[in-house]
Amino acid sequence: MAVSENPLASGSRWLLAALVLVLPVAVVAIRLTHWGALDQTALFYLGLPTGIALLVVFTARPRSAMGVSMAVLTVVLAMSAVILGEGMVCLVIAAPLLYGVVALVTAVATAIARGGPRSHQALFAVPLLFVLTLEGVAGISFLPRADRGEGGASTGADPAEVAAALAAPPAYGPFEAVFLRAVPFPEPVAATGTGLEVGDTRRIEFTPRTTLQIGSEPTPRHMELEVVESEVRADGGRVVFEVTEDAAFAKWMDMHRATATWTADGDGTRMDWAIDYDRTYEPSWYFGPIQAYATDLAASYLAETFTAGAGAAASTAEDR
């Protein structure tokens, strides 16, 4: 006699199938339409995994709600990675947050569903989760959005050679920092524009953007800057580049300006870069430190790029 399938298990599988089909569609719809700018709020990064966890806990009856929640999230992330294109940057960065929220909400919801003394304790987490989810909606942010990334490097070249390297288009190399290599950030590939006088401009080309439209080709992305402050001395200098157009990083941060400072340091020169920007993603306590770390690495990359150029020019001059 055939053993009939457990209707409860069958129902759980249908629920998981529905989640796998519906959630990636919802994620892509929000990313494509930027509906309500929700893809840059805590509601997207906290509310989405919260919804996954609650649906599984209260409608499915598997052996382990935690295991099913993690499995569903993994499938959703894997499917989203294939179709999100450049949204992979956000997906990779947000993955630890999503898994953490799913685990927390699943544990809280399971305790409440089982009842008993622990359920009353778990209820205290509900208003906290609700408040955290609201960050980014209606302009709410727990931490300041304005921030600065800083980094520097030293070279054996003198300050005049560093100034000359800064005035010329640099030769961009690959990222050395593991984090910048691991996450698919746009990489600079070429630059046009010269000079350090106020009003001089730069145009930086980055690796092309991949879009979600069927049959579409990768599109170029760039950033344009203008020198708004300049002081070049024999022993160093300071130049401020204001971002006038950003088609490369506007999805992740609102970049305002980049400041290059260099000073004589012993027999060589020390160069420092500072990048001023506004964070555009929530929750602030998660994306804030990550964006600050990435921007510090970017500032160090700029310093290393220009000091390397100055050093190469100094070596060429010595060989002559």
CATH code, domain with 264 = 3.30.530.20
Locate the DSSP E strands across 182-218.
Answer: 188-192, 201-209
Same domain for 204 and 127: no
Under 8 Å CB-to-CB from 159, ≥6 apart: which residues?
233, 234, 235, 236, 237, 262, 263, 264, 269
Bigger pLDDT: 157 vs 282: 157
Residue 141: the pLDDT is 76
Same domain for 160 and 59: no
Same domain for 50 and 31: yes
Bigger pLDDT: 298 vs 55: 298
Bigger pLDDT: 205 vs 52: 205
Same domain for 203 and 248: yes
Asked if residue 1 belongs to a domain, the reply is no
Residue 275: the pLDDT is 98
**Predicted model pTM:** 0.74
Same domain for 282 and 165: yes
Q: What is the mean pLDDT of residues 71-81?
A: 67
Per-residue pLDDT tens over the stretch 86-136: 556 677 788 888 888 888 788 777 777 777 666 666 666 667 777 667 776
- The count of domains in the chain is 2
One-letter identity of residue 176: E
Same domain for 16 and 113: yes
Residue 254: the pLDDT is 93
Same domain for 93 and 192: no
* Tokens at 51, concatenated: 């919804």
Tokens 């964006």: give the residue.
Answer: 291
Last-in-domain residue among 139, 169, 184: 139
Same domain for 112 and 242: no
Same domain for 165 and 115: no
One-letter identity of residue 40: Q
Residue 47: domain span:
7-139
Residue 125: the pLDDT is 67
Residue 98: the pLDDT is 82
Asked if residue 75 belongs to a domain, the reply is yes
Percent of the chain with pLDDT over 70: 64
Last-in-domain residue among 112, 139, 166: 139
Residue 102: the pLDDT is 81
Tokens 């942010």: give the residue.
Answer: 141
Residue 318: the pLDDT is 61
Per-residue pLDDT tens over the stretch 176-223: 998 888 777 889 999 999 999 999 999 999 988 765 445 557 778 999
Residue 147: the pLDDT is 95
Same domain for 278 and 176: yes
Burial of 177 (0-12, 13-18, 19+ CB in 10 A): middle
Bigger pLDDT: 111 vs 161: 161
| pLDDT tier at 277, thresholds 50, 70, 90 | very high
